[in-house]
Amino acid sequence: MPELPEVETMCRGIRPIIGRKVQSVRVPKCVCRPIVMRPKIVTIRRRLVGQTIQDVTRLGKRVLIHTADLALVLQPRMTGLVSLGQTPGPDHVRLQIHFAGSPQTQLLFWDRRGLGVVELMRRDEIQTRIVAGRLGPDALDITLEDFSDRLSKTNRPIKVALLDQKLLAGVGNLYASEMLHVSRIHPAKPCSKVSAKKKRHLFEAMQEILLTAIEYEGSTLSDGTYRNALNDPGSYQNQHLVYDRAGLACPSCSSGRIARIVQAQRSTFFCPKCQRT
User: What is the distance between the alpha carbons of residues 140 and 133, in angstroms, rounded to a whole number?
Assistant: 19
Q: What is the helix (H) or strand (E) element at residue 99, kind and residue range? A: strand 93-99
15-23, 48-56, 74-82, 100-108 -> range binding DNA (CB under 7 A): 74-82
Residues 3-22 that bind DNA (CB under 7 A): 3
The DSSP secondary structure of 205-271, one letter per residue, reads: HHHHHHHHHHHTT----TT-----TTS---SGGGG-SSTT-TTSBPTTTSSSB-EEEEETTEEEEE-
Q: Does 155 bind DNA (CB under 7 A)?
A: yes
Point out the catalytic residue in the list 47, 58, 61, 94: 61
Q: For the chain, what's the residue count?
A: 277
Per-residue CA distances from 231 to 84, 217, 225 (Å): 8, 11, 10
Least separation in angstroms between CB 152 and DNA: 11
Q: Does 186 bind DNA (CB under 7 A)?
A: no
Point out the catalytic residue in the list 21, 129, 266, 273: 266
The upper half-sphere exposure of residue 241, i.e. CA atoms within 13 Å in the direction of its Cβ, equals 23
User: What is the distance between the alpha carbons of residues 244 and 251, in angstroms, rounded to a whole number?
Assistant: 13
Q: Applying CB under 7 A, which of residues 58, 94, 150, 156 lies at the interface with DNA?
A: 156
End-to-end CA distance of the chain: 27
Q: Would you call the peptide bond into 251 cis, given omega within 30 degrees of 0 as the criterion?
A: no
Residue (31 or 49) nearer to DNA, CB: 31
Active site residue 2: yes
Q: Does 65 bind DNA (CB under 7 A)?
A: no
Active site residue 3: yes
Q: Applying CB under 7 A, which of residues 58, 61, 159, 245 lies at the interface with DNA?
A: 61
Q: Applying CB under 7 A, which of residues 87, 173, 219, 220 lies at the interface with DNA?
A: 173
Residue (164 or 204) nearer to DNA, CB: 164
> Is 35 in a helix, a strand, or coil?
coil
Residues 93-152 that bind DNA (CB under 7 A): 112-115, 134
Residues 200-259 that bind DNA (CB under 7 A): 222-223
Count of H-run helices and E-run strands, the chain = 7, 11
Positions marked active-site: 2-3, 61, 266
Please report, as ranges, the residues that interact with DNA according to CB under 7 A. Answer: 1, 3, 32-33, 60-62, 75, 77-78, 91-92, 112-115, 134, 153-156, 160, 163, 165, 172-174, 222-223, 262, 264-267
